[in-house]
Amino acid sequence: MQPLPKFEYREPGSVAEAARLLAELGSRAKLIGGGTDLVPSMRQGLYTPAYVISLQRIADLRGVAWEDGVGLRIGPMTTLREMEASAEARARFPFLAAAAREVGSPQLREMGTVGGNLCLDTRCRHFNQSEDWQDCVEACVKRGGEFCKASPNGRARKCFAVFSADLATALVAANARVTLQSAGGARTIELADYYTGDGASPTAGRPDEVLTEVLVPSAMQGVLGTYLKYRMRQAIDYPIAGVALTLRPRDGRVHDARMVVGGISSRPVIVKGLGALLEGKVLDETLAESAAKLARKSATPLANTAGDRAHRKQMVYEFARRALAEAAHAAAGAGGGEAR
Amino acid sequence: MKQVVQLNVNDAEHELALDPSRTLLEVLRESLGLTGTKEVCLLGSCGACTVLVDDRPVLACLTLASACQGKRVLTIEGLRQGEALHPLQQAFIDKGAVQCGFCTPGMIMAGKALLDRNPHPTPDEARAAIAGNLCRCTGYEQIVEAIVAAPAVDEAARVGAREGGHYLMPDMAE
Ligand SMILES: Cc1cc2nc3c(=O)[nH]c(=O)nc-3n(C[C@H](O)[C@H](O)[C@H](O)COP(=O)(O)OP(=O)(O)OC[C@H]3O[C@@H](n4cnc5c(N)ncnc54)[C@H](O)[C@@H]3O)c2cc1C
Ligand code: SF4
Ligand code: FES
Ligand code: FES
């Protein structure tokens, strides 16, 4: 069997030790959570880190807990299965547990972590290919070449590879924040700002930083949320489009709506103008249709994943419409008063 | 640089000097000769390499062997209890859930992980548990039937054992 490229393996016992290793090794090292993203790409020779640093023995990085006045704290080494089964997540933000459940397959969720999902590499049919295939073609931007093959004329000098993480898309809709720690200190940023939109370098995380916590702020309590995923098969496949929606129903009207679309661009795309369009209104079919059209407008996929571009765009509309219908239904169920 | 790794595979302790880039699948098949765990896509997309690590169903092709230091690994070879097959293996035979057999070890390990957590699954629960395992032959129906039927096979074997019999492997029964 085609072996993995050779590397040294480390298992630091604390975040401080992991940060120290990263400070010392710089971009020669790669962190590994469950390895379900990194190992396949190493197998294809896409990454050849000299050091692989596992976070699996750092107990502090695992678990989901609610803290009053703070929010839902999720350790990055929590597996997707633990996330989908977490009583706290299911009780407070069931759509986050549901989004975790949409990822890959049971085995991938058993291995894959929340942190790995947030830091998932972008994907493209010109990039995620075997070494043999790569050897036969010219390198594109993501592989250090000059041009993007997926761009309409093949001349763009930017990478548009697709960010396809299900849970990350839902967490952006949940206004999550992430904490990044390096040997020099820690910073906390909005998850939405963690994504650069550049397919070749999709996150703002530095090579010396460990993502140490995901926080869904307590102010999000009571929000209604949905995550709907479109894919070819009902398992294993990455999303062709994923639509996350959060809103707060009050007196039969919509407040604070936020829709995020994954699987179509190099970052989770926040649908512009949707919050303003829906604010304070009754979510009827006509309004839902206008909102879904906004979602379609925000989706500008390139020909780099499964499904053709027009179809993907139309599916964003369709899944946005369904998410809004689901939310309208749930809001009506919530009795028009305080959200559940 | 090689690292010494202690692995418990099917209740046997192994101490191996391994290059850290070796996967659990390579070590099982090539170092330990346990070729029941199949190698197909090596990319996490087929489930044929499913084994249980500390009772959790994982893909051996994406698991670094070094990361399994001190953990318990169960492969298809470890299911058999002496001469008797595991009830799920017997159920696969009884229901005709095997054609070419290449997906079978992975299917059985995924099914076992489900039965360990949920001893009486519904057909839909069985389908969800094998959603990450591809089969190109059977059309899945018999596999689902076998997983659902396993508890009854287990019960039959228990009754058989009480009455002094054994549920034998078919070739041994002749
Ligand atoms: C066949 C297949 C199908 C898949 N389908 C889906 C799908 O439908 N939806 C989906 O969302 N994903 C899918 N995935 C991807 C993957 O399984 C999940 O996204 C998983 O959550 C990744 O987590 P991990 O821990 O395995 O990541 P890893 O491979 O361990 O890491 C991924 C990246 O994140 C970095 N990283 C990990 N943890 C941290 C941290 N704490 N701080 C900083 N950097 C970190 C790593 O360095 C690496 O670059 C699929 C994968 C496969 C192989
Ligand atoms: S989007 Fe363009 S640059 Fe990026 S991986 Fe695909 S072909 Fe390469
Ligand atoms: S060989 Fe491991 S999933 Fe296909
Ligand atoms: S029996 Fe042939 S692949 Fe399943």
A241 and A209 assigned to the same domain: no
Residue A28 lies in a domain: no
Residue A145 lies in a domain: no
Distance from CA of A52 to the nearest CA of B (A): 9
Residue A51: pLDDT band (50, 70, 90) is very high
For A66-75, what is the mean pLDDT?
A: 98
Residue A295 lies in a domain: yes
Question: What CATH class is the domain B87-165?
Answer: mainly alpha
Q: Choose among A2, A34, A106: nearest Cβ to B57.
A: A106
Which pLDDT belongs to residue B160? 75
A203 and A300 assigned to the same domain: no
> How far is it, in rounded angstroms, from Cα A337 to Cα B65?
54
**B151 CA from centroid of ligand 1 (Å):** 35
Mean pLDDT of chain B: 93
Residue A324 lies in a domain: yes
Which pLDDT belongs to residue A337? 44
For A47-75, what is the mean pLDDT?
A: 98
DSSP assignment of chain B equals: --EEEEEEETTEEEEEEE-TT-BHHHIIIIIS--TTS--S-SSSSS-TTEEEETTEEEEGGGSBGGGGTT-EEE-GGGT-BTTBPPHHHHHHHHTT--SS-SSHHHHHHHHHHHHHH-SS--HHHHHHHTTT---SSS-SHHHHHHHHHHHHHHHHHHHHHHTT---B-HHHH-
A69 and A212 assigned to the same domain: yes
CB atoms within 10 A of CB B87: 25
Structure tokens at A166: 């299900």
Q: Which residues lie across from A246 on neighbouring strands?
A: A225, A258
Structure tokens at A185: 């200190």
Which pLDDT belongs to residue B1? 86
> How far is it, in rounded angstroms, from Cα B147 to Cα B124?
11
The tens digit of pLDDT for each residue in A194-244 reads 999 999 999 999 999 999 999 999 999 999 999 999 998 999 999 999 999
Choosing from A173, A199, A220, the residue where a domain stops is: A220
A191 and A325 assigned to the same domain: no
**B107 CA from centroid of ligand 3 (Å):** 12
**Residue to mutate (ligand 2; options A121, A133, A148; most atoms within 8 A of CB):** A148
Query: Residues A36, A112: contact at Cβ < 8 Å?
Result: yes
Q: Whose CA is nearest to atom 2 of ligand 4?
A: B100
> How far is it, in rounded angstroms, from Cα B43 to Cα B49?
10
Which pLDDT belongs to residue A335? 52
For B33-57, what is the mean pLDDT?
A: 98
B108: contact with A, CB 8 A cutoff: no
The tens digit of pLDDT for each residue in B77-132 reads 999 988 899 999 999 999 999 999 999 999 999 999 999 999 999 999 999 999 99
The tens digit of pLDDT for each residue in A135-165 reads 899 999 999 999 999 998 899 999 999 999 9
* Residues of chain B positioned with their CB less than 8 A from the CB of A43: 42-43
Contacts of B59 (CB under 8 A, 6+ apart): A36, A107, A108, A111, B44, B47, B49, B50
Distance from CA of B37 to the nearest CA of A (A): 14
A289 and A176 assigned to the same domain: no
> How far is it, in rounded angstroms, from Cα B137 to Cα B119?
27
Is the ipTM here above 0.90? yes
Instruction: Report CA-CA distances (Å) from A44 to A4, A129, A136, A195.
Output: 8, 7, 14, 25
H-helix segments, chain A:
15-25, 38-43, 80-85, 87-92, 94-101, 106-111, 114-118, 131-136, 166-173, 191-194, 274-278, 285-298, 309-333
Which of B64, B118, B144 to mutate against chain A (most A CBs within 10 Å)?
B64
Phi and psi at A17, nearest 5°, equal -70, -40
Residue A336: pLDDT band (50, 70, 90) is very low
Which pLDDT belongs to residue B88? 97
Choosing from A181, A196, A220, the residue where a domain stops is: A220
CATH (domain of A256):
3.30.390.50
Mean pLDDT of chain A: 95
Q: Choose among A8, A36, A106: nearest Cβ to B1.
A: A8
Contacts of A118 (CB under 8 A, 6+ apart): A76, A165, A167, A168, A171, A178, A191, A194, A203, A211, A214
A315 and A177 assigned to the same domain: no
Atom index in ligand 1 nearest the CA of residue A37 equals 29
CATH (domain of A196):
3.30.465.10
Residue A338: pLDDT band (50, 70, 90) is very low
Q: Which residues lie across from B59 on neighbouring strands?
A: B50
Interface A:B, Cβ pairs < 8 A: 90
The tens digit of pLDDT for each residue in A289-300 reads 999 999 999 998
% of chain B with per-residue pLDDT over 90: 84
Name the residue with higher pLDDT: B1 or A326. Answer: A326
Residue B174: pLDDT band (50, 70, 90) is very low
pLDDT at A339 over 50: no
Helix (H, G, I), strand (E, B) or coil at A244: strand
> How far is it, in rounded angstroms, from Cα A182 to Cα A211?
9
Q: How many structural domains are present in chain A?
A: 2
The tens digit of pLDDT for each residue in A78-97 reads 999 999 999 999 999 999 99
Question: Where, residue-wise, is CATH 3.10.20.30 in chain B?
Answer: 3-78
A95 and A210 assigned to the same domain: yes
Sign of the alpha-carbon dihedral angle for A218, A220, A221, A227: negative
Residue A135 lies in a domain: no
Q: Choose among A1, A35, A110: nearest Cβ to B57.
A: A110
B70 residue type, one letter: G
Residue A72 lies in a domain: yes
Q: Which residues surround ligand 3 with Cβ inside 6 Å?
A: B 39-42, 44-49, 59, 61
Domain that residue A109 falls in: 60-119+162-220
> How far is it, in rounded angstroms, from Cα B153 to Cα A256?
55
Q: Which residues lie across from A66 on neighbouring strands?
A: A72
Question: Where, residue-wise, is CATH 1.10.150.120 in chain B?
Answer: 87-165
A82 and A108 assigned to the same domain: yes
Instruction: Assign residue A86 a region (left: φ > 0; alpha: ψ between -120 and 50; beta: otherwise).
Output: beta
CB atoms within 10 A of CB B131: 18
Residue A142 lies in a domain: no
Asked if A35 lies within 8 A of B67 by C-beta distance, the reply is yes
Query: Residues A225, A98: contact at Cβ < 8 Å?
Result: no
User: How remote is the C-alpha of A197 from its chain's centroid?
Assistant: 12
Query: Residues A93, A220: contact at Cβ < 8 Å?
Result: yes
A241 and A307 assigned to the same domain: yes
* Residues of chain A positioned with their CB less than 8 A from the CB of B42: 1-2, 40, 43
Query: Residues B119, B147: contact at Cβ < 8 Å?
Result: no
Residue A136 lies in a domain: no
Query: Residues A314, A296: contact at Cβ < 8 Å?
Result: yes
Q: Which residues lie across from A229 on neighbouring strands?
A: A242
> How far is it, in rounded angstroms, from Cα B106 to Cα B51?
7
A66 and A203 assigned to the same domain: yes
- Which architecture, in CATH terms, is B3-78? Roll (3.10)
Choosing from A220, A236, A263, the residue where a domain stops is: A220
> How far is it, in rounded angstroms, from Cα B118 to Cα B95?
20
> How far is it, in rounded angstroms, from Cα A67 to Cα A217?
10
Q: Which residues surround ligand 2 with Cβ inside 6 Å?
A: A 124, 126-127, 140-142, 148-150, 159-161, 199, 304
Which pLDDT belongs to residue A1? 64
Asked if B22 lies within 8 A of A236 by C-beta distance, the reply is no
Contacts of A210 (CB under 8 A, 6+ apart): A15, A18, A19, A22, A31, A55, A76, A180, A181, A182
Instruction: Report CA-CA distances (Å) from B111 to A138, B130, B161.
Output: 44, 7, 24
Which pLDDT belongs to residue B165? 57
A195 and A310 assigned to the same domain: no
